[in-house]
Structure 1
Amino acid sequence: MPIINFKKEKIAVEIPQGTTILQAARNAGVLVESPCNGMGTCGKCRVKIRGNEAVLACRAIVTEDLAVETLEDKTLNNTLKIHSEGDSFTYQIDAPITKRFDGVKTQVYLRDSLLTIEEGDTENQCYGLSVDIGTTTLVSALINLATGEELASISALNPQSLHAQDVLSRIQFASKDQGLDQMYEEITSELNRMTAELCSAAGIERRFIYEAVYSGNTTMIHLALHTNPESLGKYPYTPILKGGAFVRASDYNLEISQAGVIYTPPVISAYVGPDITSGILAVRLQDVEGTVLFIDIGTNGEMALSRNGELSATSTAAGPAFEGMNITFGMRAGNGSIEGFEIHDDGAVSLQVIGGGKAVGICGSGLFDLVGELVRLGIVTENGRFANPDTLRLPQQLCSRLKEFQGKIAFEVAPDIYLTLKDVRQVQLAKGAIRAGITALLRHQGVAEEDVSQVLIAGSFGYHLKTRSLVDITIMPKSFEKKIQFVGNTSKSGGKAFLLNQRFPEEMKALVKRVNSVELANLDGFERLFVGCLNFKE
C-alpha cells in the first residue's frame, strides 16, 4: 500500500491505493481544511506534491508513495472578529439553579431537585454558561446566577467548520459513527478549553459552574450532544432531540461541576433550532405589536415572523458564501480580511481591513459591501455578469479594475485580490435563498412586504452588515430599508435569560408548540420563486 508522508507534521501513514489525500490526512490526524466536506467546490484544501504542484486534497487520488506539504491557510488564525453581544430585555433574576447554606454544608438545587451537597459555605459561588454554538463560530459567556452579572465572554472558531462548512455537509459528515465521534469530540474539547479560559479570566473554579445553556441550530445541538443527525438530512426531517430538557453535563464530557446540567431550549423544527428560540425570547418577539420579521442571516438562514404575537418560522440553506467560503479570495473575519468596501464618486475605493494591515482576502461582510457597490454602479449587471467597461459612464480608474484574471474578466478589489464571476454566482445563490425564504414566508402568511413594520437582523455575522448593502444586492426589499434593526447575538443573550429565570424554559416550551413551522420545499412554486430571486433586481 502507498505511504503518504506529511512533511510539516512529520507524520507518515500507509493507506489503501485509491484513497484521496484528504481522507489520508484525516486518517493521520493531519488538519487539511475542507469546508465543503470533500465535494471539490470550495478550493480550500490545496496541498503541494512533487515539489510545487498544487492540488486539491479531496480530488487527488493516491496511487504511489507521496510526500505532501500542507499549506498555511490565511483563514486559519486566532484573530477572528466575532460579535458576542445581543439585545435583551429586563427580567427578574430567579435562576433554576440555587444554593442554600445550612450552617455546615451547602445544598445545590435545580428547581426543587437536589443536585449535590458541598462542604462548607459555597453559597456565593454559583455560575452558569450561556453558549452559542454557531455553524461557524462559538461564543460562551460566564454568568453569575445570583446577580445576573456577565463575568467574562469568549469566542472561537467552531472546529467542525474546518471539515464541513454548512449544515448539510455537516450532517453528511456526522451520519457515520467515525464522523459523529470526531465532530462531538472536537466541539467538546473546544468548549472545555473556552470554559477554562473563562474561569481563569474571572478567577473562579469550574466546579462551581452548575448549568450550561446550549443554543444553536438543530444540527449543532445534535452534534454537541453526540446524537446522529442523519434524520435531519432526509424526509421527513425529524429531529431526534426536541430540546426543552436538562441533561447531565458529565454524560457529555463538559468539564463543569460533576453535578452540573446542560439545558437546550426547545427545538422548533429540523432547521429552526434553539438559537432561534433563544432569539425569540431575547427580543420578546411574541410580545411585539405589528408584523415583525426576525432573521439570522448565515449559512442556515433561519427566520421567524410575528403577527401580533402569532409566530411562524422557516429556514433556507444559503450555504457558506456569506462566511467567505466558496469564494476565490474568501476567508473568515480575521486579520487581513476586507470587512468593508466603498466606492467614492471619483472612482476611488476605500477598504476596511481587519487588523489594519495588508488585505489578503474578503470576509462575508466585505463581500456584501463589494457586490452591493458593484451592483449599485452597474459594474455587475442585474443578471450577475460584469458589464462591458466601454459602456459604463464611470471614472476610468474604477473601470480599469475590470481586468483579466485566470483567463476571464474579474474585478480587482485590491492588489492580488479579485472578485470573479464565479464568486458573484455564489453570492447570487446565497442571497437568492435568503430572499426567496423571506418572500415565501410572507406570502404563506398572507403578509405584504410593505406591511412588515420592523425587521430584526440577528447573529454575529448579521451585526456587521450594512443596511445599504442588504438592499443593494436585493437580499432585502427596498421597503425594508428604514425598518431594519441589528440586534446582535441574541442566541447568547437569550441563553442567558434561560439561565437566570426558571419561568422562561416552560414559557418557551409552550410557545414553540404554537409556532407554525413552514417547510419551504413543500410550497408550490418555491423553486420558481428561488430562480426569480437570483437576479440583483426587485
Structure 2
Amino acid sequence: MPEIQILPMNLSVRTRKGETLRDALYRAGVELESPCNGKGLCGKCLVCVEEPDNVPETPHKEITAEQAQQGIRLACQLVPASDMVVRVIGEYKKDEHRILEGDRDPTFSERDTGDAGVGRKHLSDTESLVKNTPAAVVKMSGGICRLQYAGQAQEELKNWPEKSVAKGLAIDLGTTTLVVTLIELPTGRELATTSSLNPQIRFGHDVISRIQKGSTPEGLAELSQCVRDGLNHLIDQACQDSGANPMEVLDVVLGGNTTMLQLAASIDPEPLGQVPFTVALQGGRAYPARQFGLEINPAARVYVPPIVHAYVGADISAGLLVSRRFFEPGGAMFFVDVGTNGEMGLSANSEYLMTSTAAGPAFEGMGISAGMRARIGAVEGVDTDGQDRLDIHTIGDAPPQGICGSGIIDITAALLKLGVIDASGRMRRPDDTNGLAGTIASRIIEINKSPAFRLGGKVYFTQEDVRQVQLAKSAIRAAMEILLHESGMEAGSLERIVLAGGFGYSLRAQNLEAIGMLPPDTADKVYFAGNTCRIGCARMLRNAGYRQYLEEKMQSVRHVSIETRPDFMDLYVESMEFPEIKE
C-alpha cells in the first residue's frame, strides 16, 4: 500500500485500501482541523503534496486553480494511489498518545514519559532496556534456513523468502477490542499496529455470554472462526501497512482474558463458567500457530503469558511487565485493567492479590446509547465550572458523532457538578430544572419518556447511560475494597494506582474519583499506563527473558474470589451511589 511521508513532523504511515489521506494522517497521530468531519465541505484539512502532477486534484471553493497546480489538496477527499510526500498547511493537532492506534512502549519511544501534572502522570519504566533478545532467531546452516526458538533445537524453515527479516506479533485479544502490533525481531522496531472491535461482540458484550454461546460444538466453532478471522484480518492489515509478508512472522505473544484465549484456541469454555472454574489452556508456554488458526509461517510459535484464574488472564500478567514496581518488596499499589472484565491486582506489603469483576463494556463505549471507539468525532473530554459553562471536546475538533470512554467519565462527572444528576444517579427532567443555568437546562430533553442530556448534534447522554456507568464503576470500586480488606491495607496507604486499558491518556483522575470509581483522596496517586497488555506482549517479543521473569513472579500471586464473598454485594450496592461533590 502507498507510504505517506508527513512534513513538517517527519512521520510516515502506510495507507489502507480505500482510506483517505485525512484518516491515514489521523492514524499517524496528526489530527487535521475538520469541522465537516471529512465530508469535503469546510475546506479546512489542507495539505500540499509534492509532485502534484501525479496526484488528482480535489476541487473546492477554498482552493484556487493556481493553488491546485502548486499541490494544494483536501486530505479528506484524497485517496492516495501511490507513495507521496505531503506537507500539512492547515490547522492540526499532533496527538503523541494516539499514534498508530495504541500506546507505544515507553522504553522504545524518544518522547518524555515523565510526570505530566497531578493525576496525569504517565507510567515509565525506570529500568534500563536490556539487549534485544527475541525467542525466535533465523540461522543459516549449510545453506538451509533454520528457526531456533527459545534456544531449542533448530527447525528447517521451508520456503523462507530471500532477504526476509523475522517478524513477531504482540496481540491483545480483548473481549471488546482486538489490537495487533507487528515487530521486527532482530531490531525490536515496531512496524505497524492495527485494531478493531472483536467481531464476537455480536454474540454478547461479556465473557459469560461468550461462554454460554461456546458451550456447544456449533457455538464454539462459530466463535473460534469469528475471532480468528478478525485476528487474521488485522495481521494482514499490519503487514500491508509495513510492506511485510505474513510468512515472515515466526513468533507471537498472545495476551487476553482466559475465555477469549480458549475460544481462539477452539477449547470448550464451559468449565470456565462454573465452579471450580477449570482452565484448560496452560499459560506460560508456547503453542504451534495452527492451535490459534493464525495465517502466518507454519513454523511460528504462539506464547501465552501466565494465566492466574478463569477470570484473571494472560492480559493482566502481561500488563504487569509495564508496572514491575508491582513486585517490589514492601510496595503498596493497585494495578487495575479498566475493561469489560475489571481485572486488578494489589501489591500490599509483599503480598500480591488478584481478582476480577464483571464491570461490563460501558467504559469502552459499548452499551452506551451514543457510545463509540476513540475516533474522529468522538466526545473525549468535557469541562465545566459547575455553574453555566460546559465545554465539549471531540477528537479532531469535529462535530460530535458519539462518546468514547474518557468522554463518558467526563460527562458523568460534569453532570454531577452541574446538578443535572444527583447522588442516586437520577437525571433531572425538562420540567425539573430549578436552580440550573439556562444554558444547561436547555440541553435537557426527553427521549421515550426518559430524560437525556444533549451534547451536540444527535449525541445524547441518557438516564440509562448513567445507570450503565454506575454499574461499571461500582463493580470496580467494590472489587478494590475487597482486596484492600483482604490485605488489611487502608486506601490512604496506597503509593500509586496504575490504570490500564484502552482509554489511552485522556482520562482525568479527578473525575474518576468524582464519580466514585476510585477511593477518596487518591486522584494524585494515579498513573495511566494505556494498553499494558499490548505493551507487555511486545516486551516479551523483544526480550524472551521477560517471559521467565513473569512466570517466576506470577507464582507468588494469590487469587481472591469475590463472587462467593457475602460482603461483595453490600459493597457493590454501596458503591452505586455517587459521592458528594467537593466544592
Under TM normalisation by the shorter chain, which class is it?
0.7 to 0.9
Of 189, 196, 203 in structure 1, the residue corresponding to residue 236 of structure 2 is 196
Change beyond 3 A, Cα 1:311–1:86:
farther
Cα displacement string for residues 411-445 of structure 1 (whole angstroms, at most 9, x for unaligned residues) = 22324433222221111111110110111111111
- Relative to structure 2, which stretch is displaced further, 117-126 or 396-405? 117-126
Say whether residues 1:468 and 2:505 are aligned partners.
no
Q: Determine the structure 1 residue equivalent to 2:337.
A: 296
In structure 2, C-alpha distance between the alignment counterparts of 1:120 and 1:379, rounded to whole Å? 63
Deviation at 1:534, TM superposition (A): 0.4
Cα displacement string for residues 92-130 of structure 1 (whole angstroms, at most 9, x for unaligned residues) = 322221222235222211122223245789687221111
Q: Determine the structure 1 residue equivalent to 2:360.
A: 319
Q: Determine the structure 2 residue equivalent to 1:501.
A: 543
In structure 2, C-alpha distance between the alignment counterparts of 1:297 and 1:261, rounded to whole Å? 29
Change beyond 3 A, Cα 1:146–1:486:
same
Deviation at 1:147, TM superposition (A): 1.6
Matched residue SS, 2:451? strand
Deviation at 1:270, TM superposition (A): 0.8
Of 369, 374, 382 in structure 1, the residue corresponding to residue 423 of structure 2 is 382
Say whether residues 1:446 and 2:488 are aligned partners.
yes
In structure 1, C-alpha distance between the alignment counterparts of 2:387 and 2:418, rounded to whole Å? 12
Q: Determine the structure 2 residue equivalent to 1:136.
A: 176
Q: Determine the structure 2 residue equivalent to 1:373.
A: 414
In structure 1, C-alpha distance between the alignment counterparts of 2:424 and 2:160, rounded to whole Å? 70
Say whether residues 1:106 and 2:148 are aligned partners.
no
Q: Determine the structure 2 residue equivalent to 1:212.
A: 252
Say whether residues 1:277 and 2:317 are aligned partners.
yes
- Relative to structure 2, which stretch is displaced further, 145-154 or 94-103? 94-103
Contact 1:214 1:265 in 2 (8 A): yes
Q: Determine the structure 2 residue equivalent to 1:417.
A: 459
Residue 136 of structure 2 aligns with an amino acid whose one-letter code is: I
Contact 2:258 2:307 in 1 (8 A): yes
Contact 2:175 2:207 in 1 (8 A): yes
In structure 1, C-alpha distance between the alignment counterparts of 2:296 and 2:160, rounded to whole Å? 19
Cα displacement string for residues 313-352 of structure 1 (whole angstroms, at most 9, x for unaligned residues) = 1111011222223323333334443222223466232222
Residue 174 of structure 2 aligns with an amino acid whose one-letter code is: G
Residue 239 of structure 1 aligns with an amino acid whose one-letter code is: V
Change beyond 3 A, Cα 1:395–1:313:
same
Deviation at 1:151, TM superposition (A): 1.7
Say whether residues 1:127 and 2:162 are aligned partners.
no
Q: Determine the structure 1 residue equivalent to 2:304.
A: 264
In structure 1, C-alpha distance between the alignment counterparts of 2:565 and 2:575, rounded to whole Å? 16
Cα displacement string for residues 281-333 of structure 1 (whole angstroms, at most 9, x for unaligned residues) = 22212137620111111211111111355321111101122222332333333
- Relative to structure 2, which stretch is displaced further, 386-395 or 326-335? 386-395
- Relative to structure 2, which stretch is displaced further, 146-155 or 110-119? 110-119
Counting matched residue pairs gives: 460
Of 160, 163, 166 in structure 1, the residue corresponding to residue 200 of structure 2 is 160
Matched residue SS, 1:270? coil
Matched residue SS, 2:524? coil
Contact 1:247 1:261 in 2 (8 A): yes
In structure 2, C-alpha distance between the alignment counterparts of 1:86 and 1:148, rounded to whole Å? 11
CA RMSD of aligned residues (A): 2.5
Deviation at 1:91, TM superposition (A): 2.9
Say whether residues 1:479 and 2:496 are aligned partners.
no
Matched residue SS, 1:154? strand
1:310-349 matched pairs, under 5 angstroms: 310-344=351-385, 347-349=388-390
Cα displacement string for residues 428-484 of structure 1 (whole angstroms, at most 9, x for unaligned residues) = 111110110111111111110000100111122254322122011110123211010
Of 133, 136, 145 in structure 2, the residue corresponding to residue 97 of structure 1 is 136
Say whether residues 1:358 and 2:377 are aligned partners.
no
- Relative to structure 2, which stretch is displaced further, 388-397 or 327-336? 388-397
Matched residue SS, 2:343? strand
TM-score scaled to structure 2, two decimals? Answer: 0.74
Cα displacement string for residues 13-57 of structure 1 (whole angstroms, at most 9, x for unaligned residues) = xxxxxxxxxxxxxxxxxxxxxxxxxxxxxxxxxxxxxxxxxxxxx
Q: Determine the structure 2 residue equivalent to 1:528.
A: 570
Matched residue SS, 2:170? strand
In structure 2, C-alpha distance between the alignment counterparts of 1:346 and 1:281, rounded to whole Å? 43
Cα displacement string for residues 379-420 of structure 1 (whole angstroms, at most 9, x for unaligned residues) = 211111125776754422112323333223332232443322
Change beyond 3 A, Cα 1:114–1:106:
same
Change beyond 3 A, Cα 1:398–1:180:
same
Matched residue SS, 1:525? helix
Deviation at 1:169, TM superposition (A): 1.3
Change beyond 3 A, Cα 1:133–1:288:
farther
In structure 2, C-alpha distance between the alignment counterparts of 1:418 and 1:153, rounded to whole Å? 32
Change beyond 3 A, Cα 1:318–1:383:
same
Residue 484 of structure 2 aligns with an amino acid whose one-letter code is: L
In structure 2, C-alpha distance between the alignment counterparts of 1:507 and 1:361, rounded to whole Å? 42
Change beyond 3 A, Cα 1:81–1:390:
farther
- Which consecutive residues of structure 2, in runs of 5 or more, have no partner in the other structure? 1-97, 108-124
Change beyond 3 A, Cα 1:185–1:148:
same
Contact 2:433 2:441 in 1 (8 A): no
Contact 1:81 1:334 in 2 (8 A): no
